[in-house]
Structure formats: C-alpha cells, structure tokens
C-alpha cells in the first residue's frame, strides 16, 4: 500500500458505539483500500468487534482507553475529563500528524472545544463553521454554518463562502461552486444590515474559486441552482432542523400510506425501485458527515444517532476531504 491515509476515530462517541463505529469502519474499508484507521477506545469492547466484522489488523492502529466523553457532558466538562478520553486522544493524534483527519459521532460541543484547544485556526479565519451536505435536484449542496456561530459579521460570512466552496471543490472536482446567501427574499433590499453588506462585497469582487449567485430563500435550497449556501449559525441550524423534520415526516407518512391497506402494499411492490430511490434521496445516512471548517486539519462530525451505514459515509466524506486537498484549497483562497 502506497502512502495510505490515516483517519483517527473516536470509537466511543454516539449512540450504540462502539459497535456501529467498528461496523462502519468495516463497510468503509471494503471500498477504500488505501485508508488505515487509528481507533481510540475500550479494548474489552472493541477487540471482539474487530474480529466480528473481520477487519484486517494490518489496517488498524488501536489505542486503549476506558475513558470517554459522555453525551450529556457540557463542552467544558468534557475538556475537564482530561487528556485520556477517546475523543481527546483521537484529536491529539491529528495534532501530532499521526492522522490526516479525525471522525467522531460523539458530543458536538466537546468535539468543537477539544479540537480548538488542540488545533490551530487557518490564518485570517476568525471563526470556524460547521458545514454539511444536503441533497438537491441536480447534485449536492454544501450548507454552512449549521450552528457553530450564532452571530456573524460580513467577513465571517465571506470566509464561510470561501471555505464552503473549497469543500465543494474538494468533493466535486469537476464542478465550479456557485454561492448564495440564505435570506428572507431574493431582492437586494431584503435582509438585515450584515447580510446586505455581505451581498455587496461578494457582488463587487471576483473570486477565482466560486461564482456568486446572490440571495436564496429557504424553499429553493434544494433546487440545485446553487451548490454552496451560506448563513449564520442560528439561521443555518434552524434550516437544517426544519429540513430534517420535513424529510422524516414525508418518509414516515409515505410508509404509513403504503402499508396501511392492501392497495397500498400492492402499489409499493409495483413501484419498489422508484420508492427505494426516493427513500435513498431523503435518507440522512447518505449525507452524514459534517465538517468543522476553519481549523488547519479536517475534523468531521458524524451524527450521534446514525447507524453503521451513516458512520461509513462520514468516513467517506473524510477521505474525500483529504484527497481533495480541502485545507490547502482554503489556505490558497483566504486573503
């Protein structure tokens, strides 16, 4: 194996861990032969799972610790638990350049704080942003910030546009990012002073990394006309939770309609392929893997309640970010 990628993994974070984490590694390892996994967690729980899911020992570097960050911990409490938790050790391996990136399904606040304590910010970036992938009619969207920063100024939003575009380019090399600001209307006069100021700056300057497409409203996020959508963390988080809730409502109601009577069951059998494609389009597991942008190394947050398929997808996003030179792209475009 030539120059394998090393991904550090907090195996103890999130629901049903470490089983879903180890199974997720197994799923990912079958499709990515040039990735090694630096696993941090309790050997009494993890070693049997490595055997259960038949993971090649040559691709595993295991560090034992029986200490972990709890889901209900505040960020400060998590940091005070010390430097021997699985999360801290995983991030520390990234700091020491033993790993190229880190993935955790654990406590979001703890991941943010411990990452910021151990890693450096990219020069000229004031605030990190949480970014994630959303489905659209045409391809995929990058949306940020999703909750790391409640209040932002125009510089922060412009930085988010650059970082989000770098992420999109890292994931989709052959497409040029199209950036839009999430707003209450598409007209130039709509929105608060900060978003209008950001619009003016982006509209008056040319950026080699992306094209600026103005404002976008919430009901157009998934149209696919733009692929990087920028907002402050308050607005972005509400948009994310609304989209997740709507998706869950649609899929659950559709399932209820197709299983409640004989006609529905027959219809679901006849349209099985189409229904499966529809379900996959809305399945959050296939878009799992949010990235904390702004730090000088990739930090990926897997959803705490996802399963092994979702965790495997977060590893895929992590791998693509490294191979797509995400951090280098951000550094090259931040002034």
User: Which DSSP state fits 30?
Assistant: T
What is the overall mean pLDDT for the chain? Answer: 88
**Token code pair at residue 322:** 């490294």
Q: Give 23-68 pLDDT, tens digit per residue.
A: 999 999 999 989 999 999 999 999 999 999 999 889 999 999 999 9
Q: Do residues 274 and 133 both lie within one domain?
A: yes
User: Which DSSP state fits 97?
Assistant: T
Residue 86 lies in a domain: yes
Task: Report the distance separating Cα 18 and Cα 46, nearest Å.
Answer: 7
Q: Do residues 105 and 212 both lie within one domain?
A: no
pLDDT of residue 264: 56
Strands (DSSP E) contained in 42-177 are 60-64, 101-104, 129-135, 140-144
Q: Do residues 219 and 238 both lie within one domain?
A: yes
Q: Is the pLDDT of residue 183 over 70?
A: yes
Task: Report the distance separating Cα 115 and Cα 299, nearest Å.
Answer: 8
Number of domains composing the chain: 2
Residue 66 lies in a domain: yes
Residue 251 lies in a domain: yes
Q: Do residues 70 and 20 both lie within one domain?
A: yes
Band (pLDDT 50/70/90 cuts) for residue 1 is very low
Q: Do residues 317 and 179 both lie within one domain?
A: no
Q: What is the mean pLDDT of residues 143-147?
A: 90
Dihedral sign (CA 143, 148, 151, 154): negative
Strands (DSSP E) contained in 170-284 are 178-182, 211-216, 228-230
**Token code pair at residue 199:** 């619009």
Q: Do residues 271 and 172 both lie within one domain?
A: yes
CATH number at residue 92: 3.40.718.10
Band (pLDDT 50/70/90 cuts) for residue 267 is low
Residue 72 lies in a domain: yes
Q: Do residues 120 and 140 both lie within one domain?
A: no
Lowest mean pLDDT among 66-75, 282-291, 295-304, 314-323: 282-291
Q: Give 102-120 pLDDT, tens digit per residue.
A: 999 999 899 999 999 999 9
For the entire predicted model, the pTM comes to 0.87
Dihedral sign (CA 298, 302, 307, 309): negative
**Sequence-separated (6 or more) residues with CB below 8 Å from residue 38:** 6, 7, 8, 9, 61, 63, 90, 93, 98, 99
Q: Do residues 114 and 196 both lie within one domain?
A: no
Residue 246 lies in a domain: yes
DSSP-based three-state secondary structure for 121: strand
DSSP-based three-state secondary structure for 243: helix
Q: Is the pLDDT of residue 335 over 90?
A: no
Task: Report the distance separating Cα 179 and Cα 142, nearest Å.
Answer: 9
Q: Do residues 108 and 135 both lie within one domain?
A: no
Q: Do residues 195 and 267 both lie within one domain?
A: yes
pLDDT of residue 263: 57
Residue 207 lies in a domain: yes
Task: Report the distance separating Cα 239 and Cα 259, nearest Å.
Answer: 30
Q: Do residues 131 and 256 both lie within one domain?
A: yes
Q: Which domain-ending residue is among 249, 266, 284? A: 284
Residue 289 lies in a domain: no
**Residue 109 is part of which domain span?**
1-125+294-335
Q: Do residues 185 and 328 both lie within one domain?
A: no
Band (pLDDT 50/70/90 cuts) for residue 137 is confident
Q: Which domain-ending residue is among 245, 263, 284? A: 284
Residue 100 lies in a domain: yes
pLDDT of residue 270: 62
Q: Give 205-243 pLDDT, tens digit per residue.
A: 988 899 999 999 988 888 888 999 999 999 988 888 887
Q: Is the pLDDT of residue 278 over 90?
A: no
User: Which DSSP state fits 279?
Assistant: H
DSSP-based three-state secondary structure for 205: coil
Instruction: Kindly state the helix (H) or strand (E) to which residue 41 belongs, with its residue range.
Output: strand 35-41
Q: Is the pLDDT of residue 289 over 90?
A: no
């Amino acid at each position: 194996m030539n120059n394998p990628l090393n991904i550090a993994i907090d195996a103890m974070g999130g629901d049903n861990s470490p089983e879903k984490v180890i199974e997720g590694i197994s799923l990912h390892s079958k499709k990515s032969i040039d990735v090694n996994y630096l696993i941090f967690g309790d050997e009494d729980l993890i070693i049997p799972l490595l055997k259960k899911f038949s993971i090649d020992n040559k691709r595993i570097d295991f560090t034992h610790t029986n200490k972990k960050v709890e889901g209900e911990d505040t960020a400060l409490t998590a940091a005070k638990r010390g430097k021997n938790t699985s999360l801290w050790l995983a991030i520390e391996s990234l700091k020491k350049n033993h790993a190229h990136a880190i993935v955790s399904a654990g406590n979001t606040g703890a991941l943010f704080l411990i990452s910021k304590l151990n890693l450096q910010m990219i020069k000229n970036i004031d605030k990190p942003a949480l970014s994630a992938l959303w489905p659209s009619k045409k391809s995929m969207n990058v949306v940020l910030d999703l909750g790391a920063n409640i209040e932002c100024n125009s510089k922060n939003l412009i930085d988010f546009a650059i970082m989000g575009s770098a992420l999109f380019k890292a994931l989709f090399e052959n497409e040029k990012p199209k950036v839009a600001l999430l707003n209450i209307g598409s007209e130039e006069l709509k929105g608060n002073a900060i978003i209008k100021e950001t619009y003016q700056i982006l509209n008056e300057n040319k950026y080699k990394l992306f094209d600026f497409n103005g404002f976008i409203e919430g009901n157009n996020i998934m149209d696919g006309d733009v692929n990087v959508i920028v907002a402050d963390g308050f607005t972005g988080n509400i948009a994310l939770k609304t989209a997740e809730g709507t998706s869950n409502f649609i899929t659950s109601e559709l399932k209820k309609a197709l299983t409640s009577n004989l006609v529905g069951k027959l219809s679901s059998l006849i349209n099985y392929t189409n229904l499966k494609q529809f379900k996959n389009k809305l399945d959050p597991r296939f878009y799992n893997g949010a990235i904390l942008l702004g730090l000088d190394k990739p930090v990926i947050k897997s959803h705490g309640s996802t399963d092994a398929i979702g965790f495997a997808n977060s590893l895929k996003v992590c791998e693509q970010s490294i191979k797509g030179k995400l951090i280098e792209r951000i550094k090259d475009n931040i002034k």
